[in-house]
Structure 1
Amino acid sequence: MSELIESGRSAARPRATLWVASMPWLFVLIWSTGFIVAKYGMPYAEPMTFLFLRFAGVLVLMVPFVVLARVPLPRVTGSTATDWRAVGHIAVAGLLLQAGYLGGVWAAIKLGMPAGVSALIVGMQPILTALIATRMGERIGARQWLGLLLGIAGVALVVANKLGASGLTPATLALAAGALFSITVGTVYQRHFCPVFDLRMGSVIQFAAAALACVPFMFLFETREVQWTAAMLGALAWSVVALSIGAISLLFLLIRQGAATKVSSLMYLTPPTTAVMAWLLFGERFPPLAAAGMVLAALGVALVIRR
């Protein structure tokens, strides 16, 4: 019997190892669809209205599951009392990673910033994360710094053909910079203050906080009108299930497992992957320079995350 049990464990190890190894690349693939979703959904709803619906949709799916599974709020170690400090940390991370990042990117694009420019600005995140992480005690070697620099160079090559002066205003630049700040600080914040929590309850806390953060912006700056077309429904469904539940859960697991710099370096692969998707789906140009940038970005990520 013991031999059978050990045999089962041995068979499970390769599958677990394969899953762990595939998580970063699956995350990049799903996360990269964000700009594609924006292209489909943005004509039918304003940014914060769409994001509110997206976050609310996650709650509609997750809250019943959490209630039926009787998932508790974070508890104080060794006690049944709710750890409200942990709840607060999880909520702050959600505000930064969800409302701050997505709100800034979507609003900037809605106001006319080219997607390539916004991708380049947000693509600075790994470098910024590395600088913050070093201040918080995370060690980054020469090989990783080289990878970070190669990554940003690759991103620049990918989006170079999309750069243009139109849509670059103080407002759009401020929004994109705010998005960059939010996802950078959010990644480091979660890694240091709440790296381990139940993903089910954590998702409810984070998306509830993000949804509430959207409300004042919806009422102050938007009409809250939605055109319920097939494209809008498809974009919203994909945003809720694949991006907000699937990709974000993978991001949380990656943050839990790895250093902030290694996790953030995966963002270098988002613009190249998005460019390939846009080429396949919309016929957008994907010149040789962009292909070279994609290879360079992938090489940079490989240098950063290699053990």
Structure 2
Amino acid sequence: MSSASPTASPAWYLSLMPLLFVLLWSTGFIGAKFGLPYAEPLTFLEVRYLLLVVLLVPFAILSRARWPNWRLAGHIAVSGVLVHAIYLGGVFLAIAHGLSAGLTSLVVGLQPLLTAVAVGPFLGERVSGRQWIGFLLGLCGVVLVVLEKLLAANHVGLSWSGFALAAASLLAMTVGTLYQKKFCSGMELRTGTAIQYLAAAAVNGVAALSLETMEIHWSHEFIFAVLWLVFVLSIGAISLLMVMIRRGAVAQVASFLYMVPPVTALIAWGLFDERLGLMALGGMAVAMAGVALVVRR
């Protein structure tokens, strides 16, 4: 994590940043796969957030990073609660309430399209006709990838409470991304990220204490899952996301999330030998075409 000016980063790094973000973000299922059997969802997330606070706050202090004023810190905290506590908490709870992982990812996969609808009124960014076609293609690609997963399973995993939680997660991620772009443009990455996880830990901790037993069965798998989510997802992928939001149009940044389900399916095929058929491969191609239409200048 660096506070370097936008002009300091080489062009090749900027062009690879979205690809690296998608790859890292797509590995999040690995942490959930290994960690959730050993702790309740919000408790699992709270361990993750507290470890991040312990790491990031001293790092920001020792590196003499610039801390924001109280007004900006408040905006950063709000974005942290939306993007981390409510978004991830909603995803984990939706699955825990019986909604299948495929349907959860499909609901959350609407985020780029919802962002495109809101980005004009909220940020004044224009979405062209070509980009609208790209958003719809990306959504179709995600549907194809997830549909194959659902057809391969013996049950769909339908849960209205799970749907409500996934919808809340979708809304939180969309609003959080827009809010971050509009109100947190002056955020220093090191201190801003520390504040975001402090706020997320506070809100998620209250929810975990209220709703769960907070019992943890410590194991090598659980420790691996926590460390993976902390360093790969929360520090690596989220830092890339914040830099991308600060540098680019929000609708374009959001479109890369369409690539997460296809890349996740590829990783699952490589690591766990999960089925990857023609429908999923076709969905990946359609999603890639959609993203290309959105981001092409």
Give the TM-score category using the shorter length: over 0.9
Quote the Cα distance in structure 1 between the aligned partners of 2:185 and 2:111.
Answer: 19
Are 1:260 and 2:246 counterparts? Answer: no
Using the size of structure 1 for normalisation, the TM-score is: 0.90
Q: Is the 8 A contact 1:42 1:110 kept in 2?
A: no
Matched with 1:5 is none
Displacement, 1:112?
Answer: 2.1
Matched with 2:220 is 230
Letter of the structure 2 residue corresponding to residue 124 of structure 1: L
Matched with 1:52 is 46
Which residue among 116, 124, 133 is the counterpart of 1:146? 133
Quote the Cα distance in structure 2 between the aligned partners of 1:239 and 1:196.
Answer: 26
Matched with 1:293 is 283
Displacement, 1:37?
Answer: 1.4
Quote the Cα distance in structure 1 between the aligned partners of 2:265 and 2:156.
Answer: 20
Q: Is the 8 A contact 2:97 2:159 kept in 1?
A: no
Q: Is the 8 A contact 1:57 1:240 kept in 2?
A: yes
Matched with 1:284 is 274
Letter of the structure 2 residue corresponding to residue 18 of structure 1: W
Root-mean-square deviation (CA, aligned residues, Å) is 1.5
Q: What is the number of equivalent residue pairs in this alignment?
A: 287
Sort the Cα spacing of 1:95 and 1:14 in 2 relative to 1 into closer, same or farther, 3 A. Answer: closer
Matched with 1:157 is 144
Residues 171-190 of structure 1 aligned to structure 2 (within 5 Å): 171-190=161-180
Secondary structure of the 2:10 match is helix
Using the size of structure 2 for normalisation, the TM-score is: 0.93
Matched with 2:59 is 65
Quote the Cα distance in structure 2 between the aligned partners of 1:14 and 1:173.
Answer: 43
Displacement, 1:166?
Answer: 4.4
Which residue among 19, 37, 40 is the counterpart of 1:25? 19
Are 1:16 and 2:10 counterparts? Answer: yes
Which digits, 9 at most, give the CA deviation of each residue in 1:38-66, with x for residues without a partner?
11111011111111111111111111111
Matched with 1:122 is 108
Matched with 1:220 is 210
Q: Is the 8 A contact 1:98 1:207 kept in 2?
A: yes
Quote the Cα distance in structure 1 between the aligned partners of 2:200 and 2:25.
Answer: 18
Which digits, 9 at most, give the CA deviation of each residue in 1:105-138, with x for residues without a partner?
0111122221111111111000000101021211
Which digits, 9 at most, give the CA deviation of each residue in 1:79-99, with x for residues without a partner?
xxxx21111111111011101
Quote the Cα distance in structure 1 between the aligned partners of 2:214 and 2:199.
Answer: 19
Q: Is the 8 A contact 1:112 1:166 kept in 2?
A: no
Residues 75-114 of structure 1 aligned to structure 2 (within 5 Å): 83-114=69-100
Matched with 2:157 is 167
Moved more, 122-131 or 14-23: 14-23
Matched with 1:79 is none
Quote the Cα distance in structure 1 between the aligned partners of 2:15 and 2:231.
Answer: 22
Letter of the structure 2 residue corresponding to residue 118 of structure 1: T
Displacement, 1:14?
Answer: 11
Matched with 1:199 is 189
Runs of 4+ in 1 over 4 A off after TM superposition: none
Moved more, 129-138 or 252-261: 129-138
Which residue among 24, 34, 39 is the counterpart of 1:40? 34
Displacement, 1:239?
Answer: 0.5
Letter of the structure 1 residue corresponding to residue 215 of structure 2: E
**Bigger radius of gyration among the two:** 1
Moved more, 291-300 or 103-112: 103-112
Displacement, 1:73?
Answer: 1.8
Are 1:132 and 2:118 counterparts? Answer: yes
Quote the Cα distance in structure 2 between the aligned partners of 1:170 and 1:288.
Answer: 30
Moved more, 53-62 or 147-156: 53-62
Sort the Cα spacing of 1:166 and 1:290 in 2 relative to 1 into closer, same or farther, 3 A. Answer: closer
Identical-residue share of aligned pairs (%):
50
Moved more, 19-28 or 61-70: 61-70
Gaps of 5+ in 1: 1-12, 75-82
Moved more, 65-74 or 286-295: 65-74
